[in-house]
Amino acid sequence: MNAIGVATMAENYQKFNPTAYLQNNYMPPRANFTSEEFVVPWKLRCLADAFATGKIRGHTLIDIGTGPTIYQLLSACDYFEEIVATDFLEVNRAVIHNWVHSEEKVGFDWSSYIQHVCKIEGKGEPWKEKEQKLKKKLKKILPIDIHQPNPLGSLLSQPADALVSTFCLEAASPDRPSFDQALQNVTRLLKPGGYFLMIGALEESFYLAGEAKLTVVPLSEADIKESFAKSGYRIHDFRSYDMPPNLKIGVDDVQGIFFIHAQKFA
């Protein structure tokens, strides 16, 4: 492991500002729900389609690098008893904790995301019911470090039935070998035969979150498929989205987004 690179990343993350990060990526123009052509509906569609197969289910789902966002868990909550959120930063774990435990609308307003997911899932589920369901299932919010052989330390009793992760591994790894090692590390948290749904950045080298400028390891579609194959996965679905010029707004140099639906070999 590139210990210097990992330590430098950890130091940079101390300046990560969740509010700025949410502003940059989860408000307009990137949060535009008027067409599936836009990036946020595309991401939500990928996750809704994967869970709609009904094959990804079980007791526990772990979200690797939750950050200050919950959109990535909206389609999962019908298929698991317990959802475990994780992040490297206390400030992000606190954002999730406050969202789960607050009744009135405090913090970031996810209602447009929840309404959109209810619409595309087509079950006629009232969005406030989905919101309450997710809050009820989000039972643990744990510290995690993907660069540790056991990323959750001793906090996890048994392997999870499924993993989700969005924009974490490539944004927390200084280089490709560290990314591959981090994927190996988090794969230990997943039961054999379990599914891993990952969304991430393609060919991105940095992103901004307030005072923080975080380096990202640029990855191609081939890189990702190779990494998953090396970590013992079968790829069921791979989709990519080209970032349109009007969504390249200076908060990063992301070129595209990938979605991978992979299964750990039994």
Ligand X SMILES: C[S@@+](CC[C@H](N)C(=O)[O-])C[C@H]1O[C@@H](n2cnc3c(N)ncnc32)[C@H](O)[C@@H]1O
Positions touching ligand HNT (CB under 6 A) are 25, 30, 39-40, 167, 171, 201, 204, 207, 216, 252, 254
Q: What are the residues binding ligand X (CB under 6 A)? A: 13, 16, 65-67, 69, 72, 87-89, 92, 144-147, 166-168, 171-172
Residue 169 CA, chain-centre distance (Å), reads 9
> What's CA 164's distance to the chain center, in Å?
6
H helix count then E strand count, the chain: 9, 9
> Would you list which residues are annotated within the binding site for S-adenosyl-L-methionine?
21, 26, 71, 87, 92
Residue 60: CB minimum distance to ligand X, A: 18
DSSP 14: T
Which residues are CB-neighbours of 104 under 8 A, at least 6 positions away? none
- Residue 145 binds which one of ligand HNT, ligand X, none, with CB within 5 to 8 A depending on kind? ligand X
Closest CB to ligand X among residues 68, 194: 68
Choose among ligand X, ligand HNT, none what residue 168 binds, the Cβ cut-off being 5 to 8 Å by kind. Answer: ligand X
Cβ-based nearer residue to ligand HNT, 30 or 188 = 30
Could you tell me which residues are annotated as the binding site? 21, 26, 71, 87, 92
Smallest distance, ligand X to C-beta of residue 201, A:
8
Four-CA torsion 96, 102, 106, 110, nearest 10 degrees = 60
185 binds, among ligand HNT, ligand X, none (CB under 5 to 8 A by kind): none
Q: Select from ligand X, ligand HNT, none the partner in contact with residue 66, using the beta carbon and a kind-dependent cut-off of 5 to 8 Å.
A: ligand X
Is 60 or 166 the residue whose CB approaches ligand X more closely? 166
d(CA 157, CA 90): 22
CB closer to ligand X out of 131 and 252: 252
Nearer to ligand X, 72 or 215 (CB): 72
Q: Which residues of 102-132 are buried (b: 16+ CB within 10 A; e: fewer)?
A: eeeeeebebeebbebbbbebeeeeebeebbe
> What b/e sequence results for 2-31 when a residue is b if at least 16 CB atoms lie within 10 Å of its CB, and e otherwise?
eeebbeebeeebeebbbeebbebbbeeebb
Residue 204 contact among ligand X, ligand HNT, none, beta carbon within 5 to 8 Å by kind: ligand HNT
In the complex with ligand HNT, the residue whose CB is nearer, 167 or 258, is 167
Distance in Å, CB of 114 to ligand X, minimum: 15
122: left (phi over 0), alpha (psi -120 to 50) or beta: left
> Shortest approach of ligand HNT to residue 43 CB, angstroms?
6
Tell me the residue length of the chain. Answer: 266
Instruction: Write a three-state SS string for 240-264.
Output: EEECCHHHCCCCECCCEEEEEEEEE
Minimum distance between the CB of residue 176 and ligand X, rounded to whole angstroms?
A: 16
When CB distances are held under 5 to 8 angstroms depending on the partner's kind, the choice from ligand HNT, ligand X, none that residue 254 binds is ligand HNT
Q: Is 147 exposed, middle or buried (0-12, 13-18, 19+ CB in 10 A)?
A: buried
